[in-house]
Amino acid sequence: MPAAIEVEHLTRVWPQPKGPPVVAVHDASFSVEGGEVLGLLGPNGAGKTTLMQVLATLTTPDEGRVRVAGFDVVEDPRAVRRHLGYLSTTSGLPARLTCRECLVLFARLHELPDPRAAAEAAIARFRLGDFGDRFVEGLSTGMRQRVRIACASVHRPPVLILDEPTAGLDLMSTDDLLREVVGLRDEGAAVLYSTHLMHEVDRICDRVAVLYQGRLLVVDTLDGLRASTGTADLAEAFRRVVGSQGLS
Amino acid sequence: MRLRPGAIRCFVRAVVVLTGAELRRLLRTGSVYAVVLLPSLLLIPVALLIGTLAMSVVDQRDVVALPRSLPPELDLVAGLEAADWKVVQVADPAAALDEGDADVARLSWERREGIAAAGSLELAGRARWRFVVDGDDPDVVAALRGQLVALGDDWLEDAVAAAGGDPEVDLWVARVDVQALEPTEPQLLDPVRGWRAYVIFLLGSVAFFFLSLTGVADRRQGVTETLAVLPVSRQAVLWARLLALFLVQVMATVGLGVNFLLLLASVAADRDLQVPGGWALLSLAGAVLLSDALYGIIAVVAPSARAANNGSSAVMLVLVALLCVGVFVDGAWWVPLAGGVSARGPLENGVCLVSSLVATAAVVGMCARALDRRVDLVLKGAEG
């Protein structure tokens, strides 16, 4: 059975108006199985967002092959989107729709047989009942993030791509959201989870991939990373991996 | 490329679903009401005020166009003016009618033998002058006819008195013969002027509206990215947005259209103005469609949200100037030009509102000007 996410020798280059092109991702290969959370780590500008955008069909790879849920992101992007839930730091929801309306809209666009039932199920799963009829723009950051992840997963996708989903959230909201991600993983979803926060990695990730200047340095389990870097502290392990490439 | 039925169904379904969401979102957006509906409401008192002013300052007399050559014996100009007609003497009365500069015209006349040519006041059986008047308003034609006959009577009385005859015997003689042709169907002499101005106004205001409220804000909010990872084509997202905007514009412009009709009705209440409904629908539909097309072009051409939304204020000033000049010179071709410039202009709502109001005032003025004449009377030139 193929992995939920398969990335083989992916390269993505961003041309620049002035100066040489930027190689955002270079020859990256990894995979993520269903029921697994892969933490994607890397300093700012490492290429994490570009990698996730390729997986989400927001941009295309220059080289290599990427398959999501068994579908090629170039050859069948719509099928990829049908099996994908995507949440980034820049994605948003229509401000003047209520949470419930957003969920119904997403369910309809995914052509679910009973959009309203799917929306109600998501409301129950993510505990949105108290503010289901409030406009998205009137929600706090944490509430809004919960609605966004509920919308991204209303169709129960086998693959979730989450780009720093807890950015800006308080502790309680972060706890809620991580619990929800774990719940989705336990339901069998493959999750690619980008973050800068090591305690989140320690809490929910099964494996980690470290990206630095577009190159994938390490793909390993948490224990494997600790062992290879000689430290039990994940933050220190990350520093050592990246530091070995010349970053202090 | 061959479209599969399933793909078409998915596309239509996505467009319908997204359009519903867009409509909900737009109708809950305050700027819609501030930029479009508020000016629409403001147009009611403005239009009524202008209409009232127009009615109070406009010369209400019917205008009769006469040729420069007139029977010297009949002082028609003085006689008609004394009877509260406004007389204009022009080389071509028919042209004056066609251009709406006159309500009625005495298009031709001929001298006949009549009683004067007979050399006495005996019955001659023929009129001294024969006039031809053609019109579609029997009342106006009858009024002019009666006036001409009365002038002929006056002349005859003078002639009888000068000849020492007995007027009681001879006054029934036909001194003036007025031939009125069969009334034609009522037509609008100059409907285009007012409606074209209205269409220009609509185009300008809705162009501002589109540019200030559409995809740009969505991109900033990340909605575009969110929609881009859903299993719908990006064309469906664009089409849904255009469709939703179209529907909102229809709703908004219906208000404007009603106001415009109110203006026409108020000014024309006692001037027999006829407003064809088909013109209103065509104008509205055309304005909305063209505006949508304009937005579509801008949305496609704009390289980014920033590029579409940020420009120099000088560009916006040029845009406003183009629009206003375009309205005043009555040239619809200014509108696409203005819209094109606006694609690079800053799209602040305040500017849009001011621009809309400026355009509104200009158009109301034009409408009042266009209505400063009777427009339902068509007189055709005819040979006597």
Q: pLDDT tens digit string along B297-339?
A: 444 444 443 443 333 334 444 544 555 554 444 444 444 444 4
Please indicate whether, in this complex, the C-beta atoms of A110 and B230 are within 8 angstroms of each other.
Answer: yes
In a domain, B210, yes or no: yes
Same domain, B214 and B114: no
The last residue of one of the domains, among A156, A179, A194, is A156
Whether residue B289 is predicted with pLDDT greater than 70 in this model: the reply is no
Whether residue A232 is predicted with pLDDT greater than 50 in this model: the reply is yes
Q: Provide the number of CB pairs (under 8 Å) joining chain A to chain B.
A: 68
The last residue of one of the domains, among B119, B152, B180, is B180
Please indicate whether, in this complex, the C-beta atoms of B223 and A94 are within 8 angstroms of each other.
Answer: yes
Distance, in angstroms, between B209 CA and closest chain A CA? 18
The last residue of one of the domains, among A121, A140, A156, is A156
In a domain, B281, yes or no: yes
Which one is predicted more confidently, B57 or A21?
A: A21
pLDDT band at B47; cut points 50, 70, 90: low
Whether residue A123 is predicted with pLDDT greater than 70 in this model: the reply is yes
- Contacting residues for B135 by C-beta, under 8 A, at least 6 apart: B104, B141, B180, B181, B183, B184, B377, B378, B379
The share of chain B scoring above pLDDT 70, in percent, equals: 26
Report the C-alpha gap between B268 and B248 in whole angstroms. Answer: 30
ipTM of the complex in this document: 0.86
Report the C-alpha gap between B16 and B9 in whole angstroms. Answer: 11
Q: Kindly state whether A93 is in contact with chain B, defined as any CB-CB distance less than 8 angstroms.
A: yes
Mean pLDDT score across all residues of chain B: 57
Whether residue B365 is predicted with pLDDT greater than 90 in this model: the reply is no
Q: Which of A182-196, B175-189, B254-268 has the highest mean pLDDT?
A: A182-196
Please indicate whether, in this complex, the C-beta atoms of B230 and A58 are within 8 angstroms of each other.
Answer: no
- What value does the mean pLDDT take over residues A123-149? 88
Please indicate whether, in this complex, the C-beta atoms of B229 and A86 are within 8 angstroms of each other.
Answer: yes
When scoring A59, A109, A110 by the number of chain B Cβ atoms within 10 A, the one with the most, hence best to mutate, is A109
Same domain, B152 and B260: no
Q: What pLDDT score was predicted for residue B251?
A: 65
Judging contacts by C-beta atoms under 8 Å, the chain A residues touching residue B231 are 78-79, 81-82, 109-111
Distance, in angstroms, between B241 CA and closest chain A CA? 13
- Tens of pLDDT along A39-94? 999 998 899 999 999 999 988 999 999 999 999 999 999 999 999 999 988 888 88
Q: What pLDDT score was predicted for residue B69?
A: 77
- Give chain B's domain count: 2
- Tens of pLDDT along B20-40? 888 887 777 665 565 555 555
Same domain, B85 and B161: yes
Of B24, B29, B226, the CB nearest to A92: B226
- Give chain A's domain count: 2
- Tens of pLDDT along A175-214? 888 998 999 999 999 999 999 999 999 999 999 999 999 9
pLDDT band at B169; cut points 50, 70, 90: very low
With residue A117 as reference, give the H or E element that holds it.
helix A115-125
Q: What pLDDT score was predicted for residue B325?
A: 53
Whether residue B272 is predicted with pLDDT greater than 50 in this model: the reply is no
Whether residue B74 is predicted with pLDDT greater than 90 in this model: the reply is no
CATH assignment at residue B148: 3.40.1710
Whether residue A164 is predicted with pLDDT greater than 80 in this model: the reply is yes
pLDDT band at B368; cut points 50, 70, 90: very low
Same domain, A44 and A63: yes
Domain holding B197, by residue range, is: 5-57+189-370
Which one is predicted more confidently, B380 or B166?
A: B166
Q: Which long-range contacts (CB under 8 A, 24 or more apart) does B260-263 make?
A: B260/B43, B260/B47, B260/B198, B260/B367, B262/B44, B262/B47, B262/B48, B263/B43, B263/B47, B263/B48, B263/B50, B263/B51, B263/B364, B263/B367
pLDDT band at B184; cut points 50, 70, 90: very low
Q: What pLDDT score was predicted for residue B174?
A: 42
Q: What pLDDT score was predicted for residue B105?
A: 63
Of A96, A110, A135, the CB nearest to B231: A110
Same domain, B82 and B115: yes
Ranking A43-47, A218-222, B194-198 by mean pLDDT, the lowest is B194-198
- What value does the mean pLDDT take over residues B115-124? 40
Same domain, B209 and B356: yes
Same domain, B252 and B230: yes
Q: What pLDDT score was predicted for residue B382?
A: 27
Q: Kindly state whether B163 is in contact with chain A, defined as any CB-CB distance less than 8 angstroms.
A: no
Listed residue (A29, A6, A12, A95) closest to B29, CA to CA: A95
pLDDT band at A127; cut points 50, 70, 90: confident
Q: How far is the CA of B356 from the CAs of A117, B293, B331, in angstroms? A: 45, 19, 17
- What value does the mean pLDDT take over residues B97-104? 66
Q: What pLDDT score was predicted for residue B2?
A: 56
Strand order in the sheet with A22-32: A22-32, A5-14, A63-68, A71-72
CB contacts under 8 A, B 5-24 vs A, are 10, 13-14, 17-18, 21, 24
Same domain, B136 and B231: no
Report the C-alpha gap between B60 and B48 in whole angstroms. Answer: 18
Same domain, A132 and A199: no
Instruction: Determine the 3-state secondary structure of B96 from DSSP.
Output: helix
Same domain, B157 and B257: no
pLDDT band at B83; cut points 50, 70, 90: confident
Distance, in angstroms, between A41 CA and closest chain B CA? 23
In a domain, B382, yes or no: no
Report the C-alpha gap between A127 and A202 in whole angstroms. Answer: 25
Of B10, B17, B24, the CB nearest to A97: B24
Written as one string, the DSSP assignment of B113-140 is -HHHHTTSSS--SS-SEEEEE--S-HHH
Q: What pLDDT score was predicted for residue B110?
A: 60
Judging contacts by C-beta atoms under 8 Å, the chain A residues touching residue B18 are 105, 109
Q: What pLDDT score was predicted for residue A37?
A: 96
Same domain, B323 and B197: yes
Same domain, B51 and B67: no
Whether residue B360 is predicted with pLDDT greater than 50 in this model: the reply is no
Judging contacts by C-beta atoms under 8 Å, the chain A residues touching residue B232 are 109
Q: Kindly state whether A86 is in contact with chain B, defined as any CB-CB distance less than 8 angstroms.
A: yes
The share of chain A scoring above pLDDT 70, in percent, equals: 98
Ranking A181-185, B108-112, B342-346 by mean pLDDT, the lowest is B342-346
Ranking B68-82, B106-120, B280-294 by mean pLDDT, the lowest is B280-294
Which one is predicted more confidently, A79 or B244?
A: A79
Q: Which of A239-243, B181-185, B336-340 has the highest mean pLDDT?
A: A239-243
The share of chain B scoring above pLDDT 90, in percent, equals: 0
CATH assignment at residue A5: 3.40.50.300
Strands A63-68 and A5-14: antiparallel
Which one is predicted more confidently, B110 or B331?
A: B110
Please indicate whether, in this complex, the C-beta atoms of B24 and A58 are within 8 angstroms of each other.
Answer: no
pLDDT band at B371; cut points 50, 70, 90: very low
Joined tokens for residue A113: 């047989």
HSE of B195, CA atoms in CB hemisphere, 13 A = 18
Distance, in angstroms, between A182 CA and closest chain B CA? 22
The angle that helices B191-213 and B334-342 make with each other, rounded to 10 degrees, is: 10
Distance, in angstroms, between B300 CA and closest chain A CA? 18
pLDDT band at B57; cut points 50, 70, 90: low
Same domain, B158 and B213: no
Domain holding A35, by residue range, is: 1-83+160-248
Whether residue B212 is predicted with pLDDT greater than 80 in this model: the reply is no
Q: Kindly state whether A109 is in contact with chain B, defined as any CB-CB distance less than 8 angstroms.
A: yes
Q: What pLDDT score was predicted for residue A192?
A: 96
